[in-house]
Amino acid sequence: MNKDTMVVVGGGQAGGWVIKTLRSEGFTGPIVLISAETHPPYERPPLSKNLLRNADAISETALLSEADLESAGVEAWLGDEVVEIDRAGRTVRCASGREQEYHRLFLTTGSRPRIPDWMAASRSGRAHVLRTIDDASSLRAGLASTGHLVIVGGGWIGLEVAASVRDMGIAVTVVESASRLCQRSVPEPVSHWLRTLHEGHGVTFLMGRSVEGLVDEADHIGITLDDGSMLVADRMLVSIGAVPDVALAQSAGLEIYNGIVVDETGQTSDPAIFAAGDVTNFPCSFAGCATRRESWANAQNQAIAAGKAALGQAVHYAELPWLWSDQYGHNIQIAGLPEKAGEVLFAPGPEGATGVWLSLDHDRRPCGAIGVGAPRIFRPVMKALKNGGEIDLGGWEAVNNAEVQ
Ligand SMILES: Cc1cc2nc3c(=O)[nH]c(=O)nc-3n(C[C@H](O)[C@H](O)[C@H](O)COP(=O)(O)OP(=O)(O)OC[C@H]3O[C@@H](n4cnc5c(N)ncnc54)[C@H](O)[C@@H]3O)c2cc1C
């Protein structure tokens, strides 16, 4: 056993970027990647977008191919799961029985979809979640014979799937238990804009409603709602959020609180173990508190920081929270913490492009922004949010729900 061995558990966005970073920063020792999925590290954003419409869009997910892993000298154990960490012996044990010693261990186990009890009992194969390439393939195959799709959950993934599926001419009903869309990440005027956008494309919303049960029939499903009514559909997607995959870290006795607790370098409560991506709860300097983020940018940038830190470099992960969504040809960018708004201002984009919403916190300080089709307005706002710079509020107007179409 080589005493330098770096072991990466989880081959998603963060796991892939730990490996890329270790090699680009000059680490020449052994790297072992162990991932439960059979696919080499890939990116998930296309799964709810192009990949639902077009199987060839699989190429958009590529992060590290098997050939890339091989040429980087990475030993990849794909389709195997780490079930135990022996911290004293610095060894991981897999479901297959294989064991591997480590010098430094990276936990990039991500998050997994929240699955309600009523869904777990369904046997028809008509109720889907969307996290992996295999989930996307299964949903895409099912959509070929779907006239009506019910989506439970009006968050980003649910809305992206609604947009993709409407483009395919399939009827969509979204059931959302909150009173507005994407409530946890955007202020009310943006929820309103999203709803108007989708209704304009024929999506039906049942807001303030939750699902209580599912009835499997031979050629359809019945979905019982909390008001006693039943929706009939060919298929459903359940996208009601994700939970951090902490089981392994928890059983190893690492500190857990809404994710694996790490410091600003990605180090866990065990100095030999780092973590990055959706699974971590990290000190966010912008938020001024510990937070967990599920975003492509966080998975990549935190993994880069953790990889460097494990090589002994001085790092301090302090990125501005940022994510994006694509719906009906609109690229929607969300920076900072716009959901903390006490007040929302709006600047329209040029020539019919939508514009930028700016959230001010309760002290009237900018705390986040959402941009749609107006990069010249959005980019300097994002820069100011990142660097703590001033934003001239002169050209901005207060906005209420109904103003922006
Ligand atoms: C459908 C979809 C669309 C998205 N679109 C966007 C978008 O448009 N913009 C954006 O900013 N973000 C988007 N995201 C979020 C972004 O993709 C995630 O934040 C990112 O994938 C997190 O990366 P990760 O490496 O932390 O976790 P993951 O990508 O979830 O990878 C974790 C991996 O670890 C494996 N694993 C778990 N436990 C073990 C174990 N014990 N042993 C071995 N392997 C294990 C899992 O099987 C998985 O392969 C989207 C996510 C999804 C699901």
- Structure-token pair, residue 16: 């892939």
The pLDDT of residue 234 is 97
Laid out side by side, the sheet with 235-238 consists of 127-128, 235-238, 148-152, 171-176, 204-207
Query: Sign of torsion, CA 121 122 123 125?
Result: negative
235 C-beta closer than 6 A to ligand 1: no
CA of 344 to the centre of ligand 1 (A): 31
Laid out side by side, the sheet with 366-372 consists of 322-327, 330-336, 366-372, 355-360, 343-348, 397-398
Specify the pTM.
Answer: 0.96
CA of 15 to the centre of ligand 1 (A): 9
Ligand 1 atom closest to the CA of 41, numbered from 1:
49
CA of 11 to the centre of ligand 1 (A): 9
The pLDDT of residue 404 is 54
- Walking along the chain (405 residues) 10 residues at a time, the average pLDDT comes out as 86 98 98 98 97 95 97 98 98 98 98 94 91 97 97 98 95 98 96 98 98 92 96 97 98 98 98 98 95 97 98 96 96 96 93 90 94 94 92 87 51
245 C-beta closer than 6 A to ligand 1: yes
